[in-house]
Amino acid sequence: MSIQLFTPTFRIEECLDEIRECLEKGWTGLGYKTTAFEEKWKEYTGLTNAHFLNSATVGLSLALKILKMECGWQDQDEIITTPLTFVSTNHAILYEGLRPVFADVDQYLCLDPEDVRNKITAKTKAVLFVGIGGNTGQYEQIAAICKQNQLKLILDAAHMAGTRLHGQIPGKEADAVVYSFQAVKNLPTADSGMICFKDTKHDELCRKLTWLGINKDTFARSNDKGAYKWKYDVEYVGYKYHGNSIMASIGLVQLKYLDQDNAYRRQLASWYDQAFQGRVASIPVADGCESSRHLYIIEASNRNELLLALNECGIYPGVHYRDNTEYRMYSYAHGTCKNSHRTSERIISLPMHLRLSKQDVDFIAEKVMTYSK
């Protein structure tokens, strides 16, 4: 038996039906299904804008680029961020010539509001909040700090597809929200993402930047009439960052099942909780948060030994994440985030996917309790 950390589930026939429409129409790129997915995502989240991208990483980069352009930020202005995240979060800050300033994490492994306040300087322009595992942590306090200090707020919601806070999709107070639909996320495609700007003019600029700076995309031009429908202007040095209709076709199907799938993930988490009965420390979910439960994270003092023991039993957990200040390029901040460093040495993400049964969870939990310290 082999139990993997992530195994995505696709509604294969429904996905193929959506993709078949694209192939029959001969339209697999930008437009058609991408616009349909954007509309469905706005309807689902209640967010004002949504633009479909080829990854969440480019979404974070675009959020910072556009805010820098529109707000007059300078190179080496500071973005407060978390050290406990996938490295793409903080790389996106560097892509735009800005400087990551690391604040520590709290008991939820999200940004600690007190340390965020301590890290604000005259050069601070924004806070980048990561909802790790689908948890909202103390997001509301972070949003309040941003409002009090006139800072922009970017929500890295890579793990948060379907997360709710007090019954609502969080992010309406953020200047930009970025989702991931990468292959093993809760709403999986092969790879893609969505960026949701609060300000419609930022969304409009984003659409130009994701299509090489061109002011009219090919789908829009295909619906134009007359001899000059081919004609467009190029306003910016843009990129090829937009999503395509094949990925959007998969996303349209997966979205229909997102809440149902997340409910099962919460059931898996509940089974883990019941099995451990307080004998194993797990990362709590914040009050008022209905988490997407992308991750179920525990702590163990013998983390590396436990990983090896579980592998011997055919169980393959993961680690989310290594403290980024331990990487060479971010080592200037090493030692500044003590809780992040401590937990980074202890955390394990247990298997969490729709193909797991209660029997699987009980087996994993039994082995964890047998070998953990």
In-domain check, residue 1: no
- 228, 300: one domain: no
In-domain check, residue 96: yes
Q: Which of 230, 256, 282 is the last residue of a domain?
A: 256
- 204, 310: one domain: no
pLDDT tens digits along 256-288: 999 999 999 999 999 999 999 989 999 999 999
> Does residue 373 carry a pLDDT above 90?
no
pTM over the 0.85 mark:
yes
- 61, 114: one domain: yes
In-domain check, residue 182: yes
- 49, 125: one domain: yes
- 232, 139: one domain: yes
- 224, 82: one domain: yes
In-domain check, residue 4: no
> Does residue 218 carry a pLDDT above 90?
no
pLDDT tens digits along 45-81: 999 999 999 999 999 999 999 999 999 999 999 999 9
How confident is residue 215, by pLDDT bands cut at 50, 70 and 90? confident
The Cα 242–Cα 179 span in angstroms is 14
> Does residue 177 carry a pLDDT above 90?
yes
Per-residue model confidence (pLDDT) at position 229? 64
In-domain check, residue 303: yes
Contact indicator for 208, 215 with CB cutoff of 8 Å: yes
Q: Which of 256, 291, 315 is the last residue of a domain?
A: 256
- 250, 269: one domain: no
Per-residue CA distances from 29 to 39, 52, 131, 189, 219 (Å): 17, 12, 30, 15, 9
Span 168-187, average pLDDT: 98
In-domain check, residue 59: yes
pLDDT tens digits along 326-343: 999 999 999 999 999 999
- Provide the domain count of the chain: 2
Span 127-140, average pLDDT: 98
- 137, 203: one domain: yes
In-domain check, residue 131: yes
In-domain check, residue 3: no
Q: Which of 256, 288, 315 is the last residue of a domain?
A: 256
Q: What are phi and psi of 296, to 5 degrees?
A: -125, 110
Q: Is 286 helix (H, G, I), strand (E, B) or coil?
A: coil
Per-residue model confidence (pLDDT) at position 225? 56
**Residue 328 burial (10 A CB sphere; 0-12, 13-18, 19+):** exposed
- 262, 225: one domain: no
The Cα 249–Cα 145 span in angstroms is 39
CATH classification of the domain holding 108:
3.40.640.10
- 22, 130: one domain: yes
Element (H or E) spanning 70, and its range?
Answer: helix 56-71
- 187, 264: one domain: no
Span 164-185, average pLDDT: 98
Domain that holds residue 298: 258-371
What share of the chain in percent tops pLDDT 90?
94
Span 350-372, average pLDDT: 98
Report which of 31, 30, 93, 38 is spatially closest to residue 63, judged by C-alpha positions. 93
- 178, 68: one domain: yes
Report which of 83, 85, 63, 75 is spatially closest to residue 153, judged by C-alpha positions. 63
Per-residue CA distances from 160 to 135, 136, 182, 260, 291 (Å): 7, 8, 12, 15, 7
pLDDT tens digits along 219-244: 655 555 555 566 789 999 999 999 99
CATH classification of the domain holding 269:
3.90.1150.10
Per-residue model confidence (pLDDT) at position 43? 98
| Average pLDDT, rounded, for the chain | 96
Element (H or E) spanning 363, and its range?
Answer: helix 358-371
The Cα 134–Cα 109 span in angstroms is 11
Contact indicator for 10, 254 with CB cutoff of 8 Å: yes
